[in-house]
Every structure is written in structure tokens, then in C-alpha cells.
Structure 1
Amino acid sequence: MSLLEQNQVFQSLSSSPNARLEHSAELGDGLGAALWSNHHDARDYHGPKVHTLSCYLAGGTGTYRREQPGTKGAPDKLCVLPAGHESSWVINGEIRLVHLYFSAEHFAEAAVTLLDREPRELQLRELTFLDDPQQARNFHQLIRLDWDEPAERLRASSLAHEMIHHSLLTQAGLRDGLRLKGGLAPALRKRLVDYIENRLAEPVSLGELAAFAALSEYHFARMFRESFGMPPHQYVLARRLARARTLLRDTALPLGEIALACGFASASHFSNRFRAALGGSPGTFRAALR
């Protein structure tokens, strides 16, 4: 099931007779985007599994949340709708807006690598009609890209990564009253992050990681998932692809060398994995960013 198909916010708007989907795209790596227009509508969101960032592009001055009728939207206002939130919206008049969606796994990787925290420790703060000029400019740049053209879709994916990192750095905080049970000790989690980063060019097996943690493979896999928000193999692949994106953007290394530096058996294996995750080839990604 695709990110958009499992996204309750996207499906709720899709089912509205008043909302119109102008454009949408899967951007790869647990990311998606949609451009909407709507008028004289009411929408409820009940515990979506996907995080949503939104920006009002035009109108919205008659849009409000039912529990906050005195606070209304406007162009360039942002909303942060975390996975699991509940909200009810009233749309009076016309509105045009863009959504950026990202999965729990994408949030988890960013929490570990960007904020040095377990994903379950953190929550994305639910915010309504936020002023953030930098992020608003990013949204306007996002909609100027042609999401149907492979190179521009890859540029959109790269921009979306930056936007989500900006949101986590500015709008994520520790969960209130959280008491963690299970999982890996924080010091061990940090050592594992460094261990994996230093061995991305080499084969990394579950047994090797479990031995490093002095745990059985079964127990380690369960504890790793608790602390990292995803299985070990998925995290390692995500880090390899992240390193590949950096090398493609910042160096002129041949694709074969980048493949080996990121732990892929060959350039073709690297290309297949990259295309499956991001929807375009490594060469197209490099050309798009340049």
C-alpha cells in the first residue's frame, strides 16, 4: 500500500465532494506531496498514521478548527499535523493548500540521526496557523517543481528532506511524562549508530550487530526496533541511501565508487535500490541537483 493510500488525511480530502486534488506524487523514501483546492467544506482527521505538514497558498481566511473558531488561516500560514492527532476543520470560502506527508519510519530515522533521540521519546508538536517564512518559501518552491518529471521529482524529494529536518529541529520535543520500557540503553544506541555509520561500505549482518550489542539475534532485533522505530536491515539501508544522496550531491565520484562506498554489491544493485526507494536513478538525481 502506498503512502497516499494509507494516509487518512489524504483519503479524507479525496472523499470530499468539495475538495479537488490538483496534483499528487509519491516522492519516495516515505514522502508524498499533494496540491489541493477546497471550498465550503468540513473535514475530520482521526489518528492518521502519517505526519502532515501543510501550507496555505491562497485564501483560507475563513478556515478554522472547530475548537478554535476565533483563529483563522491566511496565505503562507502553516499547520503541523502529527500522526495520531485528532482535528476537525471548517472551510468557509475558497482555499488552496499544499500538503507534505512523511511516514513514521522517516520520522524515526531523522529522530535517531538528526536529534540523537529514540523516536518514541519525541513528538512532533501539533501547531495551527504557524508563521515560518523559511518553510513557506520551501513550500512555494516545492509546488513550482513538476512532480511528474523524474528529475524534478527527485529535486522535490531532496527539498522535502530539508523541510522535514527543519520541522523536526524547530517543532519536535520530548513527550510529556514518558517512561520508556524496553529497548536499548541510550549509550548502546549511540554506539550502534556510530558502528553502523562507520561500516556502511561493508556487509553488516544482524548477527554482527547483535554480537556488538552482546545480545541474541532475536532479542537484539526486538530491542533495536523499539529504540530505532524500524528493523535493523531497514535502518542500515536508509543510512546507505542517505550517504549515497550526499555523495551524489557533493562529489564527482563515479557511480560504481559510490555504490561500493555505500555497501552495495555493484553499480546496478545500487541503482536498483536507489530507484526503488526514490523513484529515479542515481544519475538522474545527481543531474537534477546540479
Structure 2
Amino acid sequence: MSAFDHLQVFTAMHASPHAQLELSAQLGDGLAAALWSNRNDARDYQAPSHHTLSCYIADGTGTFRRQKPADKGAPDKLCIMPAGHESNWIVNGEIRLAHLYVGEAQFALGCTRLLDREPREMQLHEATFLDDPQQAVRFRQLVALNWAEPGERLLTNSLAHAIIDHAVLHQTGRREGLRVKGGLAPHQRRQLVDYIEASLDQPLTLGELALRCNLSEYHFARMFRASFGLPPHQYVLARRLHRACQLLRVGHMALGQVALACGFASASHFSNRFRQALGATPGEYRAAFGG
């Protein structure tokens, strides 16, 4: 099974006899990107389970959504297709576009870290032919990199995160008419975020986190997932790796020290987890950013 088979927008494009896949890569952290060329086509995306951010790299002036034929694309126009939404597209003439595929876990982490909101309360707004010069520049930088070269592919991960963070900050809002039930109280969620950030260099157990909320481990795990959008262990690991990336990009701390500062039991454990998430070792990551 291909690593892209679960990405419905990717598979819908790949099924077209008119679309040509120029580049594709898993960028780590559950992110993936693809560069497509297409012409004289019609594509339907049926409620994908992932978010898709796209940028028109060239042409696209004959591309429109079936429901809005008067609105046409153009180079540097951006489209946001949130998870669960349906869209229908007509391509007249040629188009070259980049896709960034974003899993719900990455969106959830962004909502918690950047907005201090529960991910289930928030929604990525659908947008068609959006003008956003900063995002367009990031997309063009992304497609200019060599995705097959390990060092440059790591730079695409950083750019992808910048694109996601920008979208979370500028294209995300509260879900209308939503009545949230269950989960942790807002003050518990904030206290946990602060405590985890301050304790990333320490071993954190489910029991310890549950105790801070006066809950059993079972109920805490359920309520944490409801409020954070992912399980406690996955959230903590993501924050450890985020901290590690920050330390690797700046300064010259030894890899063993980075491992300990981020709560990993050993340098080998750190390296294994880092490679699983980003597809490269910590040393390769540091080298890619000139450290």
C-alpha cells in the first residue's frame, strides 16, 4: 500500500488520465506534498479526511469550481480544502499546482499551540482563489527544493509547518452552532499545556498527567483526546520533537544533550523516534539547517 493511498485528494488526482504527477514526497510529521500538471479535466473531491492547501504555480486561468464558473484561477492563487468538505473542479486549458496534505493531528497541534483552543471547536475555512503573497512565496520556495535530496527535503518540512501555522492563524475560526460536551475544562487544558512544556526534559507518565486533573488514567485519556485532538502520548512526543527541532536549528548542543533536554532516555532512542517522525536522523536535520 502506497504511503499516499489514504490521501483522497491525491488519489483522485492520480486517477485522472489527464493529470501528471511531477513530484511527491512524505515530509514527515504526517505531512505530504505533491506537484501536479493537469489539463482539460474535471475532478471531484468527496469529503476527504485530511486538509489540502494548494497554490497555482503556473497557468490555471481556465480553472474554476463547478458551482462558481465566473471565478477563475491564476498563478499564485491559493485554495484551501478542509477535511470533510466537498468540491468539484473544472480545468480548461493547462495548470500546474502544488498540494500540501495536512492530517488532522497537525491541525490539532496548531490549534492548541497557536490559538489556545480545543481543535474540535475550530474549523479551517474553505477558500477558493485566495490572494496571500506570503503563502505563495512559501509554496514557490517549497517546489524549488529537491524533494529527493534528504537535506533539502528536511527544509520542505520546515516550510510546510510555516504554511500550516499561517493557515491556522489566518484561515481558522470557531465552528458555528457547536455545543462541546466532555473533555477537559479550559483551565485544566491550559495548565496541562504549561506543565508539559515545562517538563519536556522529564519522564511524563499518563498517571502523573491524570493525577494533575484528579482523574483516573482511563477517563483522563478519553478527555485529553477530546480536548487536544490526539492521545496524550502522541501530543507529548510531538512537543518533544518540536523542542528538539528548535534546539537542533540553533546552537551546537551535543546530540546526547538534546536528547536529554527533550526527555528521551538515550541518544539512540531519540534518534529512532526522530527518524520515524521526520525520515532523517537528528544529525542530518542539523546539517540541513547549516548547524
Q: TM-score range by the shorter chain?
A: over 0.9
Match of 1:80 in 2: 80
Q: Which runs of 5+ in 1 are unaligned?
A: none
Tell me: CA distance 1:157–1:92, structure 2 relative to 1, closer, same or farther (3 Å).
same
The residue that corresponds to 1:10 in the other structure is 10
Q: For residues 23 and 87 of structure 1, what CA distance do their matches in structure 2 show?
A: 23
Give the drift of 1:5: 1.6
Cα distance in 1, alignment partners of residues 73 and 13 from structure 2? 18
After TM superposition, the structure 1 = structure 2 runs for residues 116-131 of structure 1, keeping only pairs within 5 Å, are: 116-131=116-131
SS at match of 1:264: coil
Residue 147 of structure 1 aligns with an amino acid whose one-letter code is W
Aligned-pair distance for 1:4?
A: 2.1
The CA deviation string for residues 33-82 of structure 1, in whole angstroms up to 9 with x for no partner, is 00000001000001101111100011101100011000000000000111
2:127 and 2:254 map into 1 onto residues whose CA distance is 43
AA partner of residue 129 (structure 1) = F
Partner letter of residue 250 of structure 1? V
How far residue 225 of structure 1 moved from its aligned partner, in angstroms, is 0.4
- Once residues 177 and 75 of structure 1 are traced to their aligned partners in structure 2, the CA distance between those partners, rounded to angstroms, is 36
Name the residue aligned to 1:243.
243
Instruction: State the match for 1:268 in structure 2.
Output: 268
Distance across 2 between alignment mates of 1:2 and 1:177? 38
Residue of structure 1 equivalent to 2:71: 71
The one-letter amino acid of 2:196's match is: I
Partner of 2:182: 182
Is the 1:3–1:31 Cα contact (8 Å) retained in structure 2? Answer: no
Q: Distance in 2 between matches of 1:209 and 1:110?
A: 21
Match of 1:25 in 2: 25
Which amino acid in structure 1 is aligned with residue 279 of structure 2? G
Q: CA deviation at 1:7?
A: 0.8
Q: Whole-Å Cα distance in 2 between the matches of residues 277 and 231 of structure 1?
A: 16
**Contact 1:65-1:88 at 8 Å conserved across structures:** yes
Note the 1:104-123 alignment, pairs <5 A: 104-123=104-123
Shift of residue 2, structure 1, vs aligned partner: 6.4
Seen in structure 2, the aligned counterparts of structure 1 residues 2 and 260 have a Cα distance that, compared at 3 Å, is farther
Secondary structure in 2 matching 1:176: coil
Aligned length: 290
User: CA shift at 1:221, angstroms?
Assistant: 0.4
Helix, strand or coil at the partner of 1:184 = coil
Q: Letter of the aligned partner of 2:135 in structure 1?
A: Q
How far apart, CA to CA, are the structure 1 residues paired with 2:4 and 2:113?
25
The code of the aligned residue for 2:27 comes to L
Matched, 1:38 2:38: yes
Inter-partner Cα distance in structure 2 for 1:2 and 1:14 = 12
**Residue of structure 1 equivalent to 2:89:** 89
The CA distance in 2 between the partners of 1:38 and 1:49, in whole Å, is 23
Indicate the residue corresponding to 1:220 in structure 2. 220
Query: For the residues of structure 2 that align with 1:85 and 1:251, how far apart are their CA atoms?
Result: 43
* Rounded Cα–Cα distance in structure 1 between residues aligned with 2:100 and 2:3: 11
- Does residue 143 in structure 1 map to residue 143 in structure 2? yes
Distance in 2 separating the partners of 1:20 and 1:233: 39
Query: Cα offset for 1:3?
Result: 5.6
Consecutive unaligned residues in structure 2, runs of 5 or more: none
Summarize deviations over 1:235-289 as a string: whole Å, max 9, x none.
Answer: 0000000000001112211111000000001111111100110011111111111
Q: Distance in 2 between matches of 1:283 and 1:173?
A: 38
Q: Percent identity?
A: 65
